[in-house]
Structure 1
């Protein structure tokens, strides 16, 4: 290329480059403007704040309202000591340092947003290959907790940074840190360091050690992963995997607190960071590492305060679940929103019904038994006592000690002098009062009798001993080390009688106790699924530790029969008139099973009567006929079984436990379930029958508003069809006559149609009545928390209490009938065949078996009864008369002819009570050709014809070969046994 051309090309290249940079600059400016505009727009949408009112924002209380909008409860996670906003001056320096070290080491230097910190956290995260450190400052976290939603969006991060900058302008670092430490979520429902100190260690924040403070600071990163203990249900506890550190009562549900080793690993990271930053010395670091957090945990001593009712407890549970399922919140986010989000929750509670129900429960014993002076202690209980007055079970094992036999007046544990010894300064105890469970020493429980003559049971917790300070001897004795005793000189003393007294400070005692028997009730509007009133137990001084209405599964007994057996049967070929024969039945080993509530067997019942009389044999036979899978399908439709998530129901499938499960005749036919069902589950299932065959998931609230009164959730419960309205109506009518004509008569409400079913489990451990009217469905359970202590009455007591409650809540309500759907027809049937009645059915020797029965159009019988037959019987042998039987010994009788026939010889001679009406199959063998003349003569004399004989007027044709009347003349005697006589 020539020099001239080169000169010409150079300016052109420069020009292009200049244009490129100019365009880039312009685009950058435009982009910056756009981004800036977006940021400004986002900032404009940020909420206006007053950073000076942080303390009031820390308590954004949510409210529960009744169905009319009246405030029922101000929701607080805890009251008193657990929710107190503690001053920054009450917090130990090492606690503040722990949180600053791990969450925001440049807290004292930045202006609310830490660019250096963000860069460092990014580098640390890249080095670690995972998120080990967040970029948000403590100020940003506080801004987010106080003012912003839970959305994971860049717009929220921008608003968070903006708000943090605003807060730093008007608040001191101490004010920000104080607000942060009082609001931060630290797992297990604890908000703020004071709540966490009580939740995990049962102490106040100022008493926390460096080790404990570091453990709490470590939780912030992930409260689910790093909480110091995890709460698991008792059925999920595995002693080989879990270390129990206490028991929990969370919103009416029982949980076991198990140690979380992940938390300690996180705690060590916090301590290392504190050492690196010079917040603690090497000596303090070593001492903190040496503290055993596991033995420091004391979750069992925490008590939930300020709960207004079992109903409100359940509302909180359902709201948390709904926020998770409907809005995608994590459990932590849902709990945070409930307890600190300023929500308005509209409950389904009918306040007047709730008050009525609670008033009856406040006077439970008197309502059932009358005046206290007429009540014999223990009220409603059947117990067994040993000579020392301790309650024992059938194997004579002690269930509850009498208080005086377990504790002294100061609640110190009493160990008899022959049950302990001191050896080499070690304390050796071998007593039935102490039991080893998974490295914990469990202390036996005790009982008292209160002023109202109720049995009261009291729980005693574990003996507080570090696991390394005791061992187990070969004879199962407990050996407590001299080292522990030297450090804890107050652990024991010896009284003047030589008994060992273990100091009460080393274990928990539930002094207020739990009244027995317990009971739970749920009242629902079955047309909407709305729970109108609920009580989860009987209380002593408001001591609510378990919501038995929603969270306690008990064996349902015979109340299972309508929902697991008879409703599915009606939908699969059976009718209310289908005959079922109550005759001996056998289990898989050939043993007679099951027993009925009455002795023996009663024979043929219709399906209706089988329900009315709660016939165990017929329930099992019907279940076997329709099949276990069919029963399971209908229970799934009624909310009893959750096929999508079996962990969320109480039903145990073979897949869950191949050995002990509920897929069997006993569980589904008689209610002998592995775990049982809750009153809420039973009430909702019966409600599906009442609601024309449509199941509606029970709900305790209708809508939730956020703190700005915007609708956060408008809740519509799930529903599905179980059976047709016609089948449901047939079942309802059967349950109605179970009350009016059957064994549940005690439940009949005056002037209101009442449908329902009783249930009693073995040895009266549980008593149930579940039923409904045209207005409400209600389930009621009575029993002891320990099923080994029995009731002195069965389901009659439950039916009686059910009637008392329902009668009260129906006052002033319209008396109306259950609504009958179309295509229901009535037909006169025979109760022995289930077919159309005949004249013979009306002549049954027990009385007429003709009944009017209802059917779904198209399922009514079209054939006539073939079970009743009429036969001529020789009354001297009760066999079918033959041609030789004399007239005087022959009668026409109506019998039943079983199909298939019943053979007592196959059942060791056992016969049902109606067997005497079964048609004979043998022909008379007493009368024959050789005996017919003497028989005739005897009959003739017995009829007063001796005078005619003496006059010689009788003639006999001795040429007659067969006495069938064919050769008789006018003077002969016709003995044709087939001839009808009027």
Structure 2
């Protein structure tokens, strides 16, 4: 051990000594005050605030529930978690389970009166020997008092109240009653409260069936449910077979998680077993047997079903409450959930119940609103799928995404592996079937689909086959070998039917029976002036328990809905105006023609306003290129899309996070082709900043949290920051307004209500959006399949149609407002839409009609120069080139043209011609008419013009000496 390590250990020991002595002194003071009746003002003041309790009803208090109220203060939900805690009697618990907790948490539990000074001293000594905190100083009775009646706040106040309440509990309850209440209440990680629920969570069995090794494992969790839980859950994309050992798979809120073994839990378990041996709670042989028990193989995660969530909104309120408690009080996630489910909190939500019910009602009629009577649809509705001959859903490369149910399972839901894809050799089972994807720790089974009676596509997830480590292997050609040993131990694992197919029993994998309706959709309704979420729905036709909340947790590519916030709003704040000309001509990326416009044409020069109204891809990409990627990102940070302080919590992938695949590019910022995407809530809040005079307000789902005694724990004032000035925000909003009134988002119009917004469609219509706002609310609606590989039959017009239907209902009874509030210092100026400058007389004579339009500007940004794009030229009508002095008069035509800067040459772009190219000023002079052509065609007598000096009237003789011969004339001209 080097000097640094010694110093660190010495410092850690000092901290441990100080902490233990502090706890000892606090409790000693409290005991002195309580037992001796000494009058100490501070302590008496603390005890005055201690809650009144009735220990005889302590088991009933285990079910103390938190509540959620709406924005009007009406109760909308009592938060309960019946699947997380199951009460069992103390006589159902194994003796070694109780002994394990007593040994490590409170070895003098049977003897003390609720507080144990001797135990405190003993804990201090043990901690000093270990050089770290291995034991706490609180008794089991104190822990029970804290868990049931107090918060997790770390303070002297709480320790004194804790000791006081423990003494009260000990006066009226027996030790068995206290232990029973404690073991039914203790947090054992992974959302499991109490030993019975922990038994199901970790081993899928009842508490009475726990072994000594498993019991000691549970006792070790108490110290830190996060650190010492026997397994952790991680998302499949974060699973590393070289780093993690998979013990199973679970589904939480509709999402799959892999459970991975946590070695720290067994390290802690060994400390408990040793302590039990020292206290003679177990024999040497029991100790050795427990040490040799393979916890890793014993673990069998049980499926979690979270009940009590009445809607997507309250689900999100709970999530935000947990996050707020963690941030405000430094709780772990488990501690915050503990308070949510059992702390009796009063949570005041921002929800408007009337609007929420209306929104949910609309989603219940999703099909009828968008496609009418489903019986007239061949089906499945809105889904643009590809099928192979077997009617499996495939992607554009022919890979199977979802099997038809009958191709994957038989009627008994046994997995069908066709004859010829498996073989029994040397009593081992060898399988190579495309329905299985083998990994080092598990074997994935493909998902499947069905069609419901309303002609919805329904997708069903299938879990993995979990086989113990060492019992199966994978060859280089992906053939799976399952050992004879495993097959002998699991006689019902498979059977062979009369067709020779191998059938694997459904008990060896998880299957989502209800499935999820496709396509899915989500909507958020936000009061942009306060940041209050008024209503949200995170999915459609969801049966049973709440699942993935797509409104708040599902990141999808925003497509063109990204353009206003990543390209045009930053541009307006950095020198552009609504009248700035942008030339929609071929653009190239890495030498390739990219991007294509949605209408497959190039319009040529148009204003920024028009570019937004018509969602011109080239214009947005050129705009981002001009202002710079870093500038665009800086505005996305202000708009809540990027978090520099917590990059792990946002969905934007920076080059620092992934140098190969990231969002620091023109596709992500100019077209919304992000790596992950954004949530409807994030996009709603970002557009809310435009609506709210340029001020972004972080969206919140609750305004405050009170404890069970009515004291305010958290006053949830949303964070806000200025993104742009009110003038720039108003101009961007006005452009979005005309995108609805004049542009491609016309379906979003509301009767007697101003609307500003933008559509969004991703590649092959995998995701469709509409995001917009009125003088009252801002809202985003997304539609898409959970698997982006399955696309839609309709474009963003369907999302716009649904948004319009929703917002019509959301505004019923509100006063009509046909305009948005205009800030000061907005000026209207006539401009030329080609140059973006003040118009000249030539602008009114543009061959397409006058290009003079009234446009709004932030005062000081309006143009001061006159249009120099329009020019007047005389051309030869036969050549289209600038006429020279020899072009016949009848061919000479004077016209107004647009002088493009820089010039555009179709030849340099494979002959591609933008729509307005015909109005571009020619740069070449006519070369078909010259002196020779005039000589070869003598003029008629009536309209002759002298082609050469000396011909004609005598008045022309003055020029005779100017040139010596014809060659001099030609050289000069």
TM-score, normalised on structure 2? 0.91
- The aligned residue for residue 648 of structure 2 is 647
- For residues 608-652 of structure 1, the C-alpha deviation after alignment (integer angstroms, 9 at most, x for no partner) is 111111111111111111111111111111111111121121111
- The aligned residue for residue 845 of structure 2 is 843
Q: Matched residue pairs, number?
A: 925
- The aligned residue for residue 626 of structure 1 is 627
1:831 Cα offset (Å): 1.0
- The aligned residue for residue 585 of structure 1 is 587
Aligned pair in 2 of structure 1 residues 833, 113: CA closer, same or farther (>3 Å)? same
1:287 Cα offset (Å): 4.9
- For residues 757-815 of structure 1, the C-alpha deviation after alignment (integer angstroms, 9 at most, x for no partner) is 11111121111111111111001111111111111122121111111111121122222
How do 1:206-285 residues align onto structure 2 when only pairs under 5 Å count? 206-234=208-236, 236-247=238-249, 255-280=257-282, 284-285=286-287
Q: Distance in 1 between matches of 2:871 and 2:490?
A: 88
Of 473, 486, 498, the match for 2:500: 498
- For residues 13-45 of structure 1, the C-alpha deviation after alignment (integer angstroms, 9 at most, x for no partner) is xxxxxxxxxxxxxxxx99999687765665555
How do 1:806-885 residues align onto structure 2 when only pairs under 5 Å count? 806-816=807-817, 817-885=819-887
- The aligned residue for residue 575 of structure 2 is 573
SS at match of 1:417: coil
- The aligned residue for residue 171 of structure 1 is 173
1:664 Cα offset (Å): 1.3
Q: Distance in 2 between matches of 1:783 and 1:304?
A: 25
- The aligned residue for residue 388 of structure 1 is 390
1:848 Cα offset (Å): 2.1
1:955 Cα offset (Å): 8.0
Given that 1:301 and 1:508 are in contact with CA atoms closer than 8 Å, whether structure 2 keeps it comes out as no
1:317 Cα offset (Å): 1.4
Aligned pair in 2 of structure 1 residues 181, 872: CA closer, same or farther (>3 Å)? same
Q: Distance in 2 between matches of 1:375 and 1:746?
A: 23
- The aligned residue for residue 52 of structure 1 is 56
1:342 Cα offset (Å): 0.7
- For residues 689-743 of structure 1, the C-alpha deviation after alignment (integer angstroms, 9 at most, x for no partner) is 0000000000000111110112222211000000000000000000111111111
- The aligned residue for residue 463 of structure 2 is 461
Q: Distance in 2 between matches of 1:361 and 1:680?
A: 17
1:683 Cα offset (Å): 0.6
Q: Distance in 1 between matches of 2:265 and 2:952?
A: 104
1:279 Cα offset (Å): 4.0
Given that 2:494 and 2:505 are in contact with CA atoms closer than 8 Å, whether structure 1 keeps it comes out as yes
1:875 Cα offset (Å): 1.3
Aligned pair in 2 of structure 1 residues 312, 968: CA closer, same or farther (>3 Å)? farther
SS at match of 1:335: helix
Is residue 729 of structure 1 aligned with residue 730 of structure 2?
A: yes
SS at match of 2:932: coil
Q: Distance in 1 between matches of 2:728 and 2:522?
A: 30
Q: Distance in 2 between matches of 1:966 and 1:812?
A: 88
Gaps of 5+ in 2: 1-31, 959-973
- The aligned residue for residue 758 of structure 1 is 759
Given that 1:580 and 1:607 are in contact with CA atoms closer than 8 Å, whether structure 2 keeps it comes out as yes
- The aligned residue for residue 442 of structure 2 is 440
- For residues 637-690 of structure 1, the C-alpha deviation after alignment (integer angstroms, 9 at most, x for no partner) is 111111112112111112212222111111111111111111111110000000
Aligned pair in 2 of structure 1 residues 40, 913: CA closer, same or farther (>3 Å)? closer
- For residues 387-431 of structure 1, the C-alpha deviation after alignment (integer angstroms, 9 at most, x for no partner) is 111111122111111111111212211111211111222111111
- The aligned residue for residue 67 of structure 1 is 71
1:533 Cα offset (Å): 0.6
SS at match of 1:930: helix
1:115 Cα offset (Å): 3.5
Is residue 663 of structure 1 aligned with residue 664 of structure 2?
A: yes
1:54 Cα offset (Å): 0.5
- The aligned residue for residue 324 of structure 2 is 322
- The aligned residue for residue 931 of structure 2 is 929
SS at match of 1:468: coil
809-818 vs 101-110, greater mean Cα deviation: 101-110
How do 1:99-138 residues align onto structure 2 when only pairs under 5 Å count? 99-138=101-140
429-438 vs 221-230, greater mean Cα deviation: 429-438
1:907 Cα offset (Å): 2.1
SS at match of 1:460: coil
- The aligned residue for residue 19 of structure 1 is none
781-790 vs 326-335, greater mean Cα deviation: 326-335
- For residues 481-527 of structure 1, the C-alpha deviation after alignment (integer angstroms, 9 at most, x for no partner) is 11111111111111111111111111111111011111111110001
1:105 Cα offset (Å): 2.7
- The aligned residue for residue 544 of structure 2 is 542
Given that 1:836 and 1:863 are in contact with CA atoms closer than 8 Å, whether structure 2 keeps it comes out as yes
Aligned pair in 2 of structure 1 residues 792, 286: CA closer, same or farther (>3 Å)? farther
Given that 2:448 and 2:461 are in contact with CA atoms closer than 8 Å, whether structure 1 keeps it comes out as yes
1:958 Cα offset (Å): 8.7
565-574 vs 913-922, greater mean Cα deviation: 913-922
Aligned pair in 2 of structure 1 residues 658, 474: CA closer, same or farther (>3 Å)? closer
- For residues 892-939 of structure 1, the C-alpha deviation after alignment (integer angstroms, 9 at most, x for no partner) is 2221110111122322322212111111111222222233377786xx
277-286 vs 139-148, greater mean Cα deviation: 277-286
Q: Distance in 1 between matches of 2:952 and 2:134?
A: 111
Aligned pair in 2 of structure 1 residues 968, 88: CA closer, same or farther (>3 Å)? farther
SS at match of 1:922: coil
- The aligned residue for residue 24 of structure 1 is none
Given that 1:690 and 1:732 are in contact with CA atoms closer than 8 Å, whether structure 2 keeps it comes out as yes
- The aligned residue for residue 741 of structure 2 is 740
Q: Distance in 2 between matches of 1:84 and 1:961?
A: 119
Aligned pair in 2 of structure 1 residues 543, 595: CA closer, same or farther (>3 Å)? farther
1:253 Cα offset (Å): 6.7
836-845 vs 570-579, greater mean Cα deviation: 836-845
Given that 1:62 and 1:341 are in contact with CA atoms closer than 8 Å, whether structure 2 keeps it comes out as yes
Q: Distance in 2 between matches of 1:962 and 1:115?
A: 131
- The aligned residue for residue 889 of structure 1 is 891
Q: Distance in 1 between matches of 2:955 and 2:173?
A: 126
1:290 Cα offset (Å): 4.6
1:968 Cα offset (Å): 11
Aligned pair in 2 of structure 1 residues 697, 253: CA closer, same or farther (>3 Å)? farther
Q: Distance in 2 between matches of 1:253 and 1:109?
A: 48
Aligned pair in 2 of structure 1 residues 42, 892: CA closer, same or farther (>3 Å)? closer
Q: Distance in 2 between matches of 1:547 and 1:245?
A: 27
Gaps of 5+ in 1: 1-28, 941-948, 970-982
Q: Distance in 1 between matches of 2:215 and 2:892?
A: 100
Aligned pair in 2 of structure 1 residues 353, 123: CA closer, same or farther (>3 Å)? same
Larger Rg: 1
Q: Distance in 2 between matches of 1:954 and 1:162?
A: 122
SS at match of 1:569: helix
- The aligned residue for residue 699 of structure 1 is 700
SS at match of 1:467: coil
Aligned pair in 2 of structure 1 residues 964, 847: CA closer, same or farther (>3 Å)? farther
- The aligned residue for residue 148 of structure 2 is 146
TM-score, normalised on structure 1? 0.90
How do 1:708-723 residues align onto structure 2 when only pairs under 5 Å count? 708-723=709-724
Is residue 184 of structure 1 aligned with residue 186 of structure 2?
A: yes
- The aligned residue for residue 769 of structure 2 is 768
Aligned pair in 2 of structure 1 residues 964, 153: CA closer, same or farther (>3 Å)? farther
1:447 Cα offset (Å): 0.7
Aligned pair in 2 of structure 1 residues 764, 246: CA closer, same or farther (>3 Å)? farther
Q: Distance in 2 between matches of 1:860 and 1:965?
A: 59
Q: Distance in 2 between matches of 1:398 and 1:963?
A: 88
- The aligned residue for residue 516 of structure 1 is 518
Q: Distance in 2 between matches of 1:745 and 1:483?
A: 67
How do 1:247-396 residues align onto structure 2 when only pairs under 5 Å count? 247=249, 255-280=257-282, 284-299=286-301, 301-396=303-398
- For residues 154-193 of structure 1, the C-alpha deviation after alignment (integer angstroms, 9 at most, x for no partner) is 3432332232222222111221111101111112222222
Aligned pair in 2 of structure 1 residues 683, 935: CA closer, same or farther (>3 Å)? farther
